[in-house]
Chain A
């Protein structure tokens, strides 16, 4: 993952609400304490957020309501003007871009999916999906052709002339997703896209989302308040609390090494077998093959839960293969069972 380019970098992004916010930030050299913010009568919605999003990864920002995650994602697209910090997109500071440059960036490089879909009620599915292109002044024939392609991609063909009110929640969000993809954005923001859907549909949409990402390889910033969702989808997760980022890491990192009690509180009930890969429990391969031979071969990133079902009928260890196909270690049934027992 380290070889991927940094697509978006946030350096000490602050968003303080209230009068005199910028003064306070200047006065304190860009790092006010919680007390200083409170004294100024301000609300620190985002406090000193720094992270980078790599090209093609799914970066999930997870936090409970009021943690500032929605404000943060809006700062990244400058829907909300950050009070301080740097947001570097493809090497350029977004906060220095003029209004017109922002319009151009949003028109061609960014896409966003909203929690409550934000579909325009007076436009059909086709009209909604083609809307970003319409705004750019692209002629009707071209934009509708493009819109039809994406509608098919999200599996809504046949519904082009429906109005949003005629669709179910899941279908409406498919329209929202299709619309955000119409301009082929490089950076794709999803602000709690599945939170308004009921659990079964949510699950289905998450699968759908992963399927799309397998095809599209976008750079994604995904906001959620659902830790399970974060673990299911993320390459890396940032946990936010009270406007600040508590920890950034892969799902496995968070589960194995929670940085704070707050993070541990979330990971406590997570089924380890679903998160940990065999890498975390494998032992070095012995020089010689074990007596009975290996029960099978598994890639190193396989989750323990998946190995468990294959191991159930035999005591033989499994060979673990690295990304180059060579063996890097082995995993025994005892190690797997140990994780399963932990829950």
Chain B
């Protein structure tokens, strides 16, 4: 084994820093949709992972169509939009059919959405088969940029990072600068009064739920650059997603951001210093410890209950 030079050490440090940031962006993208639904509506959506899978499968279908038409280089950004629409519409319908009957019954929504997740998994299995699929991706997204000797920054990591930033900014704008956001916040603070001043609270619920599911779809589409998609892929994501949302504080967007960053960095720094499994254990122990001290999570929203 040759000696590690200081330049190589610097390169490793840089790439490792990027690994942490890219894990942060993955976690953030996964958690945003859930944070909106959980935080603003109090609904625990166990089918969140399956809505991600809807996004992934949408991308897969589009990639098959695109490769037939020879549009492989350009289809990917459109597939993100398509994933948002498909997952969003599915969420909208789910809200009408099921969720709206279960408000104020958090345990029932938990069970019901879990049932939905099982049904969706079986649908994926019947339609796409049990084999995991992965869409054919444009060449430009799979390579790496090399700002210096021995430094490789993966393009798909940059892409997910950029997307997470964009989506977060978009959601923040909608929540805090738009009329609709005002209505959402009003409804979550006091449904009765919000209704009394003329806000269609049912419509607000429906759109909020659809938005959360749509964001899950975008996350799913983006993850096709990182991982393959199978019928049960969603259940792999759901635990990390809940961890981020609960740790950050259910009703707080800033909390979700901070928690994704903390968990992402902690996990990847620890992982570099010890084995992967030990890093996971330490991260989880830290999170559990902090939650015991602050049951509301890192940030608590000032909501009148």
- Co-assembled chains A and B: no
Residues of A within 8 A of B (CB): none
